[in-house]
């Protein structure tokens, strides 16, 4: 009887936050936290899906797939099945079990991993012949149309195209993907999951996306030959700002500054690659950390997607000896802090800070070790 096991990773984004839907280049990577799927052919005429971590299951016949569902994991699953072309004429008899060690709501794209892993598994199980980019676009549409989250394509690309020990320079206009190494030379990246989950995250994300789309529509009216935000000249920005409200001006300023930071980090990464073994990387790592801090400040003050808990955590940890920089990561209003620190900076160094944070906010924040991983694969 046919069986298949699939691992679909979550992701980090080193820098380029909220640029995936703002015509930028982003620098994500898959990480060694996964949604794990087991596919098994059965003799039944139904599909049985078990969400093992939630102790929930959903059994349906193919012609019942279009039924209305409450928000939750089933809506993502339904979206993937329908977008993959499964309906009443689809193959019969399938049992899928899945579980995850990606923290939910931490900004590590557990929903993208769920959609990408399921789509990849169905593609492999039934030999449908779809490319990884087709699966990424399909998984994005599952979030748009069935979960109501107007996400960019970065999360899906990172989950499907990740390479061990590499970041991906993903051009969100051309969809070009350029893997590259980031030698940390005695430094490390890790996460602190704040355990903060504010309910307004999805609606606020969609509102910011809509406001930036409105700004772009206006920019195209004013400057018909403008191709993207990367090409916006200072004089054009000044004219555009005169037609925007103060909130949208701030959001656009963040986008323009973040585009520049991504370019600077790409250049810095190349400088790290070119360092000889006897050269000290400290100055370059300090500059990389400064870029992370600047991104956090922009997300806090201009894009306004941070929250007081994450701001407290970022202020505290960046003051620690051995920490180069830190920033909130993900859509906002909770989730993880991404930290760049010396390799010698360990759990015991951050424990007092975490305890202080937990006592102040009544939370149980968690250190998460990460390694840069391969994208979705069958094992």
* Residues annotated catalytic, as ranges: 155
Contact yes or no for 184/345 (Cβ under 8 A): no
Cα–Cα dist 330/191, whole Å = 12
Contact yes or no for 91/45 (Cβ under 8 A): no
Q: Which two tokens stand for residue 114?
A: 């769920």
Contact yes or no for 289/14 (Cβ under 8 A): no
Contact yes or no for 49/78 (Cβ under 8 A): no
Q: Which long-range contacts link 130-139 to residues 24+ away (Cβ below 8 Å)? A: 130/84, 132/160, 132/161, 132/375, 132/376, 133/160, 133/175, 135/160, 136/160, 136/161, 138/80, 138/83, 138/84, 139/80, 139/112, 139/115
Residue 334's beta-bridge partner residues? Answer: 197
String of DSSP letters for 270-300: HHHHH--TTS--HHHHHHHHHHHHHHHHHHH
Neighbours of 209 (CB within 10 A): 18
Q: Is 278 exposed, middle or buried (0-12, 13-18, 19+ CB in 10 A)?
A: exposed
3-state helix, strand, coil in the chain (%, to 5): 45, 25, 35
What's the count of helices (H) and strands (E) in the chain, helices before strands?
10, 13
Cα–Cα dist 40/124, whole Å = 12
Cα–Cα dist 179/85, whole Å = 31
Cα–Cα dist 12/31, whole Å = 7
Order of strands across the sheet that contains 28-41:
56-60, 47-51, 94-100, 28-41, 3-13, 377-378
Beta-carbon contacts of residue 319 (< 8 Å; ≥ 6 apart): none
């Amino acid at each position: 009887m046919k069986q298949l096991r699939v691992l679909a990773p979550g992701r980090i984004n080193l820098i380029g936050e909220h640029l995936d839907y703002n015509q930028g280049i982003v620098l994500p990577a898959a990480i060694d936290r996964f949604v794990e799927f087991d596919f098994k052919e059965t003799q039944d005429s139904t599909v049985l899906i078990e969400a093992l971590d939630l102790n929930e299951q959903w059994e349906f016949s193919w012609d019942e797939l279009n039924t209305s569902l409450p928000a939750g994991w089933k809506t993502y699953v339904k979206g993937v099945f329908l977008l993959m072309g499964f309906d009443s004429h689809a193959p019969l008899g399938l049992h899928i079990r899945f579980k995850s060690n990606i923290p939910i709501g931490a900004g590590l794209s557990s929903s993208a991993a769920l959609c990408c892993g399921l789509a990849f598994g169905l593609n492999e199980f039934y030999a449908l012949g779809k490319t990884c980019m087709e699966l990424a676009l399909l998984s994005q549409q599952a979030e748009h149309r069935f979960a109501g989250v107007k996400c960019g394509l970065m999360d899906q690309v990172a989950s499907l195209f990740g390479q061990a020990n590499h970041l991906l320079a993903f051009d969100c206009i051309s969809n070009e993907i350029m893997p590259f190494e980031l030698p940390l030379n005695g430094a490390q990246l890790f996460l602190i999951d704040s355990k903060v989950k504010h309910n307004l995250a999805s609606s606020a994300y969609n509102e910011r996306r809509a406001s930036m789309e409105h700004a772009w529509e206006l920019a195209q009216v004013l400057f018909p030959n403008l191709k993207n935000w990367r090409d916006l000249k200072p004089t054009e920005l000044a004219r555009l700002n005169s037609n925007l409200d103060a909130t949208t001006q701030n959001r656009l300023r963040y986008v323009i500054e973040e585009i520049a930071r991504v370019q600077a980090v790409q250049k810095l990464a190349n400088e790290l690659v070119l360092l000889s073994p006897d050269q000290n990387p400290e100055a370059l790592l300090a500059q990389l950390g400064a870029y992370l801090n600047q991104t956090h400040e922009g997300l806090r003050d201009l894009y306004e997607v941070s929250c007081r808990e994450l701001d407290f955590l970022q202020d505290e940890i960046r003051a620690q000896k051995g920490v180069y920089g830190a920033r909130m990561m993900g859509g906002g209003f909770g989730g993880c802090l991404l930290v760049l620190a010396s390799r010698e900076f360990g759990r015991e160094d951050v424990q007092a800070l975490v305890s202080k944070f937990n006592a102040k906010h009544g939370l149980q924040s968690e250190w998460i070790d990460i390694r840069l991983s391969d994208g979705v694969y069958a094992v």
